[in-house]
């Protein structure tokens, strides 16, 4: 293993010399990201003896904290410098009269647009809409989905835990996916079920295709004879309709989720080599959804007899679908709140009732 003192010096030097957010973010991803150097060193710990693990593990954790703190301090410094520069450059005289053109109303954010598009497609396939809370209990986010406390799959979710518990003493999290709505909805009713559930989800993750807050649309169908063929047809029909390309190339890849068996992930063919993201071309695959046949344990959590009923479920990554359909290279720009970005990528307001504009007028 690498000497952690040398590594610390090297990384701190790089952080100190970063002159803008982009280069700082590159350092963060290269060192602390999922495939970053420190994360890889953490993984290597599993090959060591228990003694060595203890010693090197604590050194590595220390190093990780030092680097995390130095990156956030540097980030704040750079933000202040950049803000001051922008304030000097972008002076707006708010006392000037508004020109007719500038007085136009805003634009629809691509995420809202895509939420509406997806909802409309599933609406036409007979799906209802269900909702669940953003602040979720550990029970619905994990346990009821067959992810008990010690399950390694909890690590996959980079969860934001809340400091407080609810009045029943249960631990609270910002939901890491929309899958908790599966159990919440099944508990309330009787099968058959056929619904989607759009909403915000949260994970401690940030790079070109990950943001700490993102959106998913969950889908659940439970009935007596539901099978994997129905799931495949549904996904293929949805993707063709959403991308408006009959020949859209999607890949259904075997995967693992504790709440489905079998499980799969869906990738869409795209080109990420240039500054524009292109769907249906190139040789890159972007993962846009997880799916599978509902695990009998999940049906049991919702008091449904898995000998009589079975179902399929999917979770679509809404922001990534917006990214692909409208060629937006970096997911992080979605949530910068920059009006110029929204003017470029946003959609004009159509005066019709939809999910994001209010279903009833
Ligand atoms: C899940 O969240 C499962 N709950 C999906 C599922 C539902 C599987 C029902 C089976 C049955 P996953 O972690 O792969 O799976 O996330 C699903 C999708 O959300 C991904 O394909 C990706 O498109 C999107 N996604 C995940 N993390 C982020 C992130 N940080 N930023 C943006 N999109 C993300």
Within a domain: 124: yes
116 and 156: one domain? Answer: yes
Q: Are 272 and 324 in contact (CB under 8 A)?
A: no
Q: What is the pLDDT of residues 214-251, one digit of tens each?
A: 999 999 999 999 999 999 999 999 999 999 988 888 99
For residues 298 and 140, what is the distance between their CA atoms, to the nearest angstrom? 10
> Is 240 in the same domain as 341?
yes
Range of the domain at 152: 109-348
**Is the pLDDT reported for residue 355 higher than 60?**
yes
Residue 156 shares a structural domain with residue 242: yes
Q: Which of 34-42's residues contact partners 24+ apart within 8 Å by CB, and which partners?
A: 34/205, 37/7, 38/63, 38/64, 38/67, 41/1, 41/2
Residue 65 sits in the same domain as residue 119: no
Q: Measured from the CB, is residue 289 less than 6 Å from ligand 1?
A: yes
State the chain's mean pLDDT as an integer. Answer: 90
Is 99 within a domain? no
Ligand 1 centroid from CA 156, angstroms: 10
Three-point CA angle 236, 180, 212, nearest 5°: 80
The tally of CA atoms less than 13 A away on the side-chain side of residue 360 is 0
2 pLDDT band, cuts 50/70/90, is low
Q: Is residue 24 situated within a structural domain?
A: yes
Mean pLDDT throughout 295-312? 97
Q: 262 to each of 9, 170, 254, 330, how far by Cα in Å?
A: 46, 30, 8, 32
> Contact, 356 vs 117, CB < 8 A?
no
Would 299 be classed as within a structural domain? yes
Say which residue, 359 or 342, is predicted with more confidence: 342
Domain end, chosen from 33, 58, 90, is at 90
Task: Identify whether 69 is part of a domain.
Answer: yes
Considering the domain architecture, whether residues 82 and 142 belong to the same structural domain is answered as: no
Q: Are 255 and 206 found together in one domain?
A: yes
361 has a pLDDT exceeding 50 = no
Answer yes or no: are the C-beta atoms of 60 and 48 closer than 8 Å: no
Is-contact 280 270, C-beta < 8 A? yes
* CA 121 – ligand 1 centroid, Å: 20
What is the pLDDT at residue 44? 86
Written in H, E and C, the secondary structure of 264-287 is EEEEEEEECCCCCCEECCCCEEEE
For residues 141 and 72, membership in a common domain is answered with no
| Number of domains present in the structure of the chain | 2
Helix ranges restricted to H, the chain:
4-17, 21-32, 37-44, 50-89, 110-124, 138-141, 180-188, 228-243, 296-301, 318-325, 339-345
Q: Same domain, yes or no, for 299 and 331? A: yes
User: Atom 2 of ligand 1 has which residue's CA nearest to it?
Assistant: 177
How large is the average pLDDT for residues 259-263? 97
Query: Are 310 and 172 contained in the same domain?
Result: yes
Which residue, among 144, 120, 44, has the nearest Cα to 352 in the 3D structure? 120
Q: Is 298 in the pocket of ligand 1 (CB under 6 A)?
A: no
Mean pLDDT of 81-86: 89
Rounded to the nearest angstrom, the distance between the alpha carbon of 216 and the centre of ligand 1 is 7
Output the residue whose Cα is nearest ligand 1's atom 32. 210
> Would the CB of 295 count as within 6 Å of ligand 1?
no
Residue 353 lies in a domain: no
Residue 248 confidence (pLDDT): 86
Check whether residue 150 and residue 255 sit in a common domain: yes
> Is the domain of 146 the same as that of 179?
yes
pLDDT of 357 above 70: no
Q: Are residues 56 and 159 in the same domain?
A: no
Answer yes or no: is the C-beta of 158 below 6 A from any ligand 1 atom. Answer: no
Q: Give pTM, 2 decimals.
A: 0.78
**pLDDT score recorded for residue 1:** 54
- The pLDDT tens digits for 90-142 are 887 888 887 776 666 788 999 999 999 999 999 999 999 999 999 999 999 99
Identify the CATH number of the domain in which residue 341 sits. Answer: 3.30.930.10
Give percent of the chain with pLDDT exceeding 90: 64
% of the chain beyond a pLDDT of 70: 95
The answer to whether residue 8 sits within a structural domain is yes
Which residue is it, tokens 């980030």?
75
Residue in 206, 223, 225 with CA at minimum distance from that of residue 214: 206
Choose the final residue of a domain: 58, 90, 122.
90
Percent helix, strand, coil in the chain, to 5, is 45, 25, 35
Is 355 part of a structural domain of the chain?
no
| 40-50 per-position pLDDT tens digit | 888 888 888 88
């Amino acid at each position: 293993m690498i000497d952690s003192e040398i590594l610390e010096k090297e990384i701190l030097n790089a952080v100190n010399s970063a002159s803008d957010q982009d280069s700082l973010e590159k350092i963060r991803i290269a060192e602390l990201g999922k495939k970053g150097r420190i994360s890889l060193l953490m993984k290597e710990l599993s090959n060591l003896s228990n003694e060595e693990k203890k010693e090197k593990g604590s050194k590595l954790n220390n190093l990780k904290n030092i680097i995390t703190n130095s990156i956030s301090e540097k980030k704040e410094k750079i933000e202040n410098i950049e803000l001051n520069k922008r304030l000097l450059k972008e002076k707006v005289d708010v006392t000037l009269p508004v020109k007719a053109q500038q007085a136009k109303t805003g634009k629809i954010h691509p995420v809202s647009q895509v939420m509406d598009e997806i909802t409309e497609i599933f609406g036409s396939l007979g799906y209802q809409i269900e909702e669940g809370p953003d602040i979720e209990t550990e029970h619905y986010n994990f346990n009821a989905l067959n992810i008990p406390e010690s399950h390694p799959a909890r690590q996959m979710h980079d969860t934001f835990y809340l400091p407080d518990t609810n009045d029943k003493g249960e631990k609270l999290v910002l939901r890491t996916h929309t899958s908790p709505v599966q159990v919440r909805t099944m508990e309330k009713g009787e099968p058959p079920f056929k619904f989607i559930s759009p909403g915000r989800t949260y994970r401690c993750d940030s790079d070109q295709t990950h943001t700490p807050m993102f959106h998913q649309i969950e889908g659940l169908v439970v009935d007596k004879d539901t099978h994997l063929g129905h799931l495949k047809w549904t996904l293929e029909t949805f993707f063709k309709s959403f991308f408006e390309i009959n020949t859209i190339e999607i890949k259904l890849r075997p995967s693992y989720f504790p709440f489905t068996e079998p499980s799969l992930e869906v990738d869409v063919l795209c080109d990420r080599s240039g500054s524009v993201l292109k769907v249906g071309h190139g040789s890159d695959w972007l993962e846009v959804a997880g799916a599978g046949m509902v695990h009998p344990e999940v049906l049991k959590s919702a008091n449904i007899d898995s000998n009589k009923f079975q179902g399929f479920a999917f979770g679509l990554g809404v922001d990534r679908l917006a990214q692909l359909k409208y060629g937006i290279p970096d997911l992080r720009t979605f949530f910068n709140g920059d009006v110029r970005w929204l003017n470029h990528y946003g959609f004009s307001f159509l005066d019709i009732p939809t999910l994001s504009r209010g279903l009833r007028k």
